[in-house]
Every structure is written in structure tokens, then in C-alpha cells.
Amino acid sequence: MNQAAPAPKENMGNPVPRIDARLKVTGQAGYSADLPTANMAYGALATSSIAKGSITAVRLERARKVPGVLDIVSVGDMDGIDKPKFGNTGASSIAPLHDKAIFHDGQIIALVVAETFEAAEEAAALIRADYAEETPSAGFDSRGTEMEPAAGKSPLFKEDVKAGDFDAAYAAAAVKIDEKYSTPTQHHNPIELFSTTAVWQGDQLTVYEPSQNVTGWKAELARQLKIDPANVRIVSPYVGGAFGSKGPMTARTAIVAVAARRVGRPVRCVVSRIQAYGTQTYRAETRHRIRIGANQDGRITAFAHEGWEVTSRPDPYVVGGTSATGRMYDYGSVLTHVSLVHADRNTPGYMRSPPETPYVYALENAMDEMAVALGMDPVEFRRVNEPQKEPIGGKPFSSRSLVKCYDQAAEAFGWSKREAAVGSMRDGDWLVGMGCATAIYPTAAAPCAARVRLTTDGEVRVQCGSHEIGTGVRTVAAQMAAERLGIEMDKVSVEMGDSALPPAPVSGGSISTASVCSAVLKACDAVRAKLFAAAVAEAGPLAGSGNAKLEMSQEKIVADNGKSAKLSDVFKTMQIGAIEEYAEFAPKGSSPEALKKLYAGQSEFHGGDQDKDSMKYAFGAEFVEVRINSHTREIRVPRIVGAFAAGRIMNTRTARSQLMGGMIWGIGQALHEATEIDKRHARYVNRDLQDYLVPVNADVKQLEVILVPEIDHEVNPAGVKGLGELGNVGTAAAVASAVYHATGKRIRDLPIRIDHLIV
Ligand code: MOS
């Protein structure tokens, strides 16, 4: 590869193809449920048919008679095992099989283990339970829900933010809006199904399961099973879609491990797509009320954002995006408040760009409404309210290139050709609308370790317990090592997705590139230091060059005095065949316990709005054209242009892919995605990819990504802002604004569908 041979020095930033692309497209990449294990038994879940109440009896007789059934683990069989916990590592405190309480439809009531997958499925389908059933609350507007403020209730929610006197400023504002917005229930539908494979060898447990957090899961699973974490290994070499769904561990993992111990064989449980809707996390529905007040000149003086989110009965899951929306513009005064609504549902969880996506959708839709109310161009309206400092704590932004993003995206999109009047643009039968919105995502990093080995033949092996969830982190880690060690990419291999490797943080919150690359960089620098010392030593090939500046390039150590030495010659003088170095990276501001926590599977994030010195965020601007058929009201999105500034871009190809994928998901949020709920039973209805709509290629026409150059030395040593979640923040609001521009109909409840536009 690299036949035009760019010097390895220039590796970072190149559009290097994924190092695992060939393995993936030829089916050789081993996903967790593909990995062969001898003597495997197969598991299948039976789930609750009610949403609230308790189990009085589980009837297993018919299931036990199915030929090939080895065992059934059911209610009461988790004795001696600790219950799951809700938090960043555990998905929910709901403890199926531990006790008889039913908290939601689709809760696990048994796991059948059989000789074959088919036998297990057949038997699981024959399991019935008797219940003492109560009337469930399905969600917002259902009777029996309980509402409480998020602040102080959830470990995941920081605080309601405030500045100035909102009430007074809003009352005095010349122009104001007060509107409500909502986003629907949305479910993760990764193409790789959820699965757990548990293998015991003596007291050693290995679990193969797609995961974004192998180190965290190792600790959590050991806690539940009450065994030494040193005896637990989580393996997740490739992940076929995660987006938060494989971040926290669910109750199933320990159940499968218990079953495998009981039958004395490895057990593999692949969860059906239908069952995943009730046994995994998802994005629960949200509601918003936004009030904005401004002067006639368009300067905002008052901003209030109230949010409501549905969660399960016992767990306070909350995304609470008001930390970002409350700091987005120069508001003058700010008031925010987030509430939880407990219903009889499974516990929600992170889903791509979790705090920002629903909240920024509401904010940016409201910003467009406000621009209309003021008679201002929506881009100009945002420019006028661009802050010098964030309005809550008065901190500066480490960098903020939002205006540049708007300028470049507007130019590429041809925003100047937009006719402002609603309904004024038309192409034959098609009403044309154009809209825009801001994208924002916090930039953070967490402690991470890595091991790098370089051999005399110039082979590099990078080991890091991070996760290739499709972002390309394996590739950028390889690029980092190739650049620092002066080795071509095809000689670098990267091992990830195994808790036996040096620990890495959860692959969530867009932190992986910054965290992993910083650790790999440090390990490479330790390798370099050893080589350089040997090279300039008395017996070394660069003896006498002690004062020269040294670099590594093309398997050589190159001094700025013109001398150079082959890598193999330096190794020869050291009389070794390889150097292996281990490094730990902790971001600036890390607590003294941060590294200890890393090994215990807890990720300490730094950045975003949490740092004392500055606000660390990546920004973008998205412009969307919609076309709406004047007869049928069919909605099409022929064009999206997004410009994004996210610090140093490690690989323009994988970065572009992330941003494109984000914007495409944004089309889905705007027009397609929604989990429908049967309110009487608190049951999800459209639990498959036939009825749960997502955008396909035909829904996406032109998609342009502009990477706006940005240098930010404050965010982390690598200068990287994460961008895995940035692209799908803002898209839905831009679509909603474009629909308004085309039709004059302001749709505040997602998804926007034909029926919204017919009446
Ligand atoms: Mo992401 S929702 O932080 O995996």
C-alpha cells in the first residue's frame, strides 16, 4: 500500500483505508458470536408477556420435554449471585431471575439451554408464566407515572443550568416564542445482533460479547458473580454497530454465565431482534418546552429549556442535554430544568449523541422559529448571537469554529440562492425548502493504556483494550504508531477488544480517538527513547550525535546532522530483537485515582463543560434541502451539506464516514424512526427492521462533508476533538426547518411524516 509512498511522518490526517476493511468485507473479521468454541450449547430467552406485576409461577414442563434441552435457568436460579446495578457500566438495576417482580414487557423470565439453537428457541417459545398483573403506565400521558426532577436523582445528570434573571428578561423581550417539541422512542437496531457466549475453564470465565467497555464489564460481571475480576475476560474483537447499545452491560451476561456453569459447557445466546427491544437499552421519548426572548435587532435576551424524559420505574436514566443547549448561544439569561417520568418500561440508555440529539433538535427548531418571528435569516440570527464566552460560567471555548462552519457550508450549499419567503421555491410538482441547524458535541478524553512492540524487522504491534465499533479507531491507532515509529502502515497490527489487553475507557462519548491515540503516542515515545539512547551511545551507530535531533523514518533513525542508522543496526547494538513499552495516559485535570479507576473499569471523562479552564466542544453547521410533492406530500431529502470543525483530523476518510453516517441517521430521526407503543400493554409494536424505519440508500442523495481546519492544543495532547457523534446532532432540526420553509408547516414532533403535511 501507499504506493505513492508518502513519508510515514505524514501518516496522520491521511485518508488511509481501514486496516480491517478487507477482513470485514470478506467475512473474515470474527465478531463475538462467530468465534468458534468446542462443545457449544445454545441459549434462548423467554420473556415476560406483561409489563407490570409479579410472576406467581413459571411453567417449564413443556419446554423441558423438547428433545435436546439441557437446562433451564429461571426465576430463583440466581441465588448467590449479586443483582445488576444501574449506572455507566450496568444498564439497569432490574434483576430478572433474581426476583419475581416484572418491571416491563419483554423482561427475561427464563433462559433455555439446548444442544441446538433450534431446540432452545422451540423450548423457550413453550414457556408460560402465571402473573399477578397490574395496569402498566406506558409513558408520557399514561396514568400512574411518577415525575421527579433529574438533578440530584441521577448519577448521569449533572445539574440544571441558570444565568441571570430569565423571568424578567423574557417578560421584557420585544419578540418571543414559547413552543413545545418532542422526540419519539427510538431503538437500537445494530446489524450485529446482541449476544453472549460464556466459556468456563475451571474458575476462569471468558465471555465473548459485543461490547464498548470490556474492562468495565469484566469488573461488573465479576462483581455480580462474586468472583475475582482476574478470573474474568471479556472478548469483543469487532462490533457490528454499537452507538451506545453495547456500552452498559445488561442482565443477560451474568445469566448466560450462570447457565454455562450449570451445564458445564460453553453457552451461546444470540438475542432475536424482537427480544432486543425489551432486553437492551434504547432512546426513550423526550418532550421539550422552549422559550426564547429577543430584542428587535435579533439579540437573544432570554432562553429557557425544560425537558422531560421517560425512564423505567426503578432507574433514573436521563440524557439531559440542557448543559449544551444552555451554553450554545449568547443568551443573556438562561433557565433550564430536566424532569424524569418513570413508567413501566425497560431502562433506556445511551444512543448516538445521547444528551445533544433530542435537546439540540428542540433548540435548533426553536431557533429557526425565532428567526422567522424576527424576520431574520436563520444563519444571520445565529451569527448575531455567537458568544465570546459560554453564558453559564463565563468560561471561554477552547476553540469554537461555528461561524466558519456556517460560512463554508452555506457557500457550498448555495444558501444565498434561497428565497426567504415560505413556499416560494418550487420545482414543478415539488415544493422546495431549505433549512439549517447547528451541530455540537462535547470533546472529552479519559485515561487509557497501551502497549507497543517494535521488532528489528520493523514490525509493530499495538495493544489496547479499546473497541473497534466501526469508527476506525484501530486504523488511527495504527497510523499513530506508524507515524511515530517511522514504519509503513502495512507493518503495523493492532489488537483491541479484549479485557486482557491494556485497559481503555468505554468507547462512548466520542472519546476513543483522543484517548487511544494519546496512549499509543506515549508508548511509541517510550520505544523511541530507548532506541535513540542506544543509537547515540558509544557503541551505537550514531555515536557522537548525542546533541542532534532524532526522528524515525522509513525504518531508520535519522539525525538532523545528516547521519542516519538502520533500525536493525540499532537493535543489533542492543542485542535484542524487539522493544516493548507500556504507557498510561491521563488527561489534564485527572484525579489522583484516575488510573486506578481505569484498571477497575471506570472511565473518568475530562472535557466538555466539566473543565475549569475552558469549554471543550466540537461544532458543525448542517444545511438541508427538502422536496415535498405538492400532491402526495412525499418528503425527500435530495441534499445535505455539513461543515464540521473537530480539531485535528486523524484520518479524513474515517472522519468523513462518521460524519456522513451521522447525517444519514439524522434523516432517519427526522423522517423515519419511531418505536410505536401499545399503550394498554406498554409493549413495543414495530420490533423489527420491516416496521422500524431507517433511511436506506434511496433516501440519501447528495451528501457533502466539509472538514473545517481547526487547531486546538487545549483539548488534549493529540489535538483531537471527537466526531463520532457530532454529525447527527442538528440534522433533524435542519430538516424540520426546511419542511417549514417549503410548506409553512412547523412540525415540532418527530418524526415528520406525510400525514403531518396533508391537513
Ligand atoms: Mo455513544 S451513545 O457515547 O456510544
Q: What number does the ligand 1 atom closest to the CA of 242 have?
A: 4
The share of the chain scoring above pLDDT 70, in percent, equals 99
3-state SS track over 1-38:
CCCCCCCHHHCCECCCCCCCHHHHHCCCCCCHHHCCCC
Q: What number does the ligand 1 atom closest to the CA of 245 have?
A: 4
Output the CA 724–ligand 1 centroid distance in Å.
9
Query: pLDDT tens for residues 510-547?
Result: 999 999 999 999 999 999 999 999 999 999 999 999 99
Instruction: Indicate the average pLDDT of the chain.
Output: 96
pLDDT for the residue numbered 501: 98
pLDDT for the residue numbered 156: 87
CA distances from residue 67 to 46, 114, 115, 272, 419 in whole angstroms, order as listed = 17, 8, 9, 21, 70
Output the CA 674–ligand 1 centroid distance in Å.
19
Interacting residues of 472 by C-beta distance below 8 A, sequence separation 6+? 18, 651, 653, 654, 657, 658
pLDDT for the residue numbered 4: 39
Nearest CA, atom 4, ligand 1: 244
Query: pLDDT tens for residues 66-82?
Result: 999 999 999 999 999 99
Q: How far is the C-alpha of 264 from the C-alpha of 199, rounded, in Å?
A: 9
Is the pLDDT assigned to residue 8 strictly greater than 70? no
Lowest mean pLDDT among 32-41, 512-521, 664-673: 32-41
Q: Where residue 7 falls among pLDDT bands split at 50, 70, 90?
A: very low
* DSSP letters spanning 605-672: -EETT--SS-B-EEEEEEEEEEEEETTT--EEEEEEEEEEE-BS-SBHHHHHHHHHHHHHHHHHHHHT
By most ligand atoms within 8 Å of CB, the mutation choice from 211, 243, 441 for ligand 1 is 243
Output the CA 188–ligand 1 centroid distance in Å.
11
The CB of 378 under 6 Å from ligand 1? The reply is no
Spatial CA neighbour of 514 closest among 587, 601, 451: 587
The CB of 244 under 6 Å from ligand 1? The reply is yes
The CB of 350 under 6 Å from ligand 1? The reply is yes
Output the CA 444–ligand 1 centroid distance in Å.
13
pLDDT for the residue numbered 601: 97
The CB of 532 under 6 Å from ligand 1? The reply is no
Q: Give the residue-averaged pLDDT of 335-345.
A: 98
Q: What number does the ligand 1 atom closest to the CA of 354 have?
A: 2
Q: Give the residue-averaged pLDDT of 603-629.
A: 95
pLDDT for the residue numbered 642: 98
Active site residues: 725
Q: Where residue 12 falls among pLDDT bands split at 50, 70, 90?
A: confident
The CB of 354 under 6 Å from ligand 1? The reply is yes
φ/ψ of 585, rounded to 5, equals: -110, 135
Query: pLDDT tens for residues 467-499?
Result: 999 999 999 999 999 999 999 999 999 999 999
Q: Give the residue-averaged pLDDT of 657-663.
A: 97
By most ligand atoms within 8 Å of CB, the mutation choice from 443, 725, 729 for ligand 1 is 725
Query: pLDDT tens for residues 385-421?
Result: 999 999 999 999 999 999 999 999 999 999 999 999 9
Interacting residues of 584 by C-beta distance below 8 A, sequence separation 6+? 447, 448, 449, 519, 522, 595, 598
Q: How far is the C-alpha of 551 from the C-alpha of 548, rounded, in Å?
A: 10
Q: How far is the C-alpha of 179 from the C-alpha of 288, rounded, in Å?
A: 8
The CB of 351 under 6 Å from ligand 1? The reply is yes
Q: What number does the ligand 1 atom closest to the CA of 507 have?
A: 4
pLDDT for the residue numbered 10: 53
Is the pLDDT assigned to residue 137 strictly greater than 80? yes
Q: Where residue 155 falls among pLDDT bands split at 50, 70, 90?
A: confident
Q: How far is the C-alpha of 333 from the C-alpha of 755, rounded, in Å?
A: 38
Query: pLDDT tens for residues 411-465?
Result: 999 999 999 999 999 999 999 999 999 999 999 999 999 999 999 999 999 999 9
pLDDT for the residue numbered 11: 74
pLDDT for the residue numbered 158: 87
The CB of 247 under 6 Å from ligand 1? The reply is yes
pLDDT for the residue numbered 482: 97
**Pairing assessment for the beta strands 282-283 and 267-270 based on DSSP bridges:** unpaired
Kindly report whether the global pTM for this prediction surpasses the value 0.85. Answer: yes
The CB of 243 under 6 Å from ligand 1? The reply is yes
pLDDT for the residue numbered 237: 94
Better-predicted residue by pLDDT, 12 or 32: 32
Q: Give the residue-averaged pLDDT of 119-142.
A: 98
Q: How far is the C-alpha of 111 from the C-alpha of 71, rounded, in Å?
A: 8
